[in-house]
Amino acid sequence: MTDAPVRVGTRASKLALSQSAWAARHLGVEFELVHVSTHGDRDQTSPLTQIGGTGVFVSAVREALLSGEVDVVVHSLKDLPTAEPDGIRLAAVPPRESPSDALIARDGLTLETLPAGASVGTGSPRRAAQLRLQRPDLDVQPIRGNIDTRIANVTEGRLDAVVLAAAGLNRLGLTDRVTDEFDPTVFLPAPAQGALAVEVREDDHRFDDALAALDCPVTRAAVTAERQLLNSLEAGCSAPVAAYAVVDGAQLRMQAGTYGSTAHMLEEAAGPMEDPRQLGRRMAETMLGRGARDLLSEGI
């Protein structure tokens, strides 16, 4: 270990700072947060699918790590591209926060009680597709911005509701704003939603003991299966793909969905916890055999 503060690279959003500080505190070392500006943070107007989708919040932070500007980086794991980066290792996956999506609506409304024609904002094609499946009478609108900006769309009357990840709201102490939290086995989340990723340079072993203590094998197994499905489908992190895995004894059970403009596909399977990638690959092969690639190419 080093006597100098550990430099933790992070985006400057309120959520990223909160997540990075939480992970750094659990390493049990003196640390400083180093703000890294990303393309996704600088462009708050274009849809994510237009400005790069996969990795739009990640590349600059990883570049700071590889250059030695920072020692450790913390991400929302669902934002990471599924391809393994050169020179970087995923050193810890802490215990998962809620994987669910959550509704923040005016007047305490829920997804069931929103009136026909109500406007609901989301920046996620996956969420948009599932909202339209469950409530085709809603007016689903694309939005961007940080959590506060998105919530302001409701409090300032521009939208009737927004859908956000429950994990981010919980981490920022905004749970009381939630008017409806969706069952993740019904409204399937994004692969690895609610999980964090702590990365270090491949050859840096100064923090191995602390990182090993922070790592949660159950969470790592579940999100590895989910992300392997995404990788095998050759879909990016902003694609309309959902996956949710849970550990059941020695087994890993996963549900997954892909969504297009005219149809959707759901799949369930189980496999041994010690080989989560095999489960993800097998489910993807099944879904590809049923036409998942054509479905995803339709767009939402």
**Within-domain flag for 188:** no
Ordered per-residue pLDDT tens for the chain, 300 residues: 447 899 999 998 999 999 999 999 998 889 999 999 865 544 445 444 443 444 667 999 999 999 999 999 999 999 999 998 999 999 999 999 999 999 999 999 999 999 999 999 999 999 999 999 999 999 999 998 999 999 999 999 999 999 999 999 999 999 999 999 999 999 999 999 999 999 999 999 999 999 999 999 999 999 999 999 999 998 877 789 999 999 999 999 999 999 988 889 999 999 999 999 999 999 999 999 999 998 888 776
Same domain, 79 and 156: no
**Within-domain flag for 59:** yes
CATH number, domain of 40, equals 3.40.190.10
Same domain, 91 and 202: yes
**Within-domain flag for 189:** no
221 and 276 Cβ atoms separated by less than 8 Å: yes
pLDDT of residue 44: 46
Six-digit token string for 219: 């969470």
Same domain, 227 and 295: yes
pLDDT of residue 56: 66
Q: Furthest-apart CA pair in the chain: how many Å?
A: 60
Same domain, 156 and 265: no
Same domain, 91 and 115: no
Q: Which of 79, 101, 160, 180 is catalytic?
A: 79
Owner of token pair 């009357």: 157
pLDDT of residue 133: 95
Six-digit token string for 61: 């932070």
Closest by Cα among 218, 220, 244 to 93: 220
Task: Tally the domains of the chain.
Answer: 3
271 and 256 Cβ atoms separated by less than 8 Å: no
**Within-domain flag for 190:** no
CATH number, domain of 258, equals 3.30.160.40
**Within-domain flag for 186:** no
**Within-domain flag for 110:** yes
Instruction: Give the DSSP letter of residue 46.
Output: S
79 counts as catalytic: yes
Same domain, 116 and 232: no
254 and 229 Cβ atoms separated by less than 8 Å: yes
In which domain, by residue range, is 84 found? 1-95+195-215
Same domain, 82 and 113: no
Cα separations (Å) of 23 from 28, 71, 89, 184, 218?
Answer: 9, 13, 16, 25, 18
H or E element at residue 245? strand 241-248
What single letter denotes the amino acid at residue 163? V
Q: What is d(CA 241, CA 82) in angstroms, rounded to the nearest whole number?
A: 13
Order the strands of the 241-248 sheet from edge to edge.
241-248, 251-259, 264-272
- Global pTM reads 0.90
Closest by Cα among 100, 102, 128 to 194: 100
Q: What is d(CA 114, CA 77) in angstroms, rounded to the nearest whole number?
A: 31
Phi first, then psi, for residue 191 (nearest 5°) are -55, 130
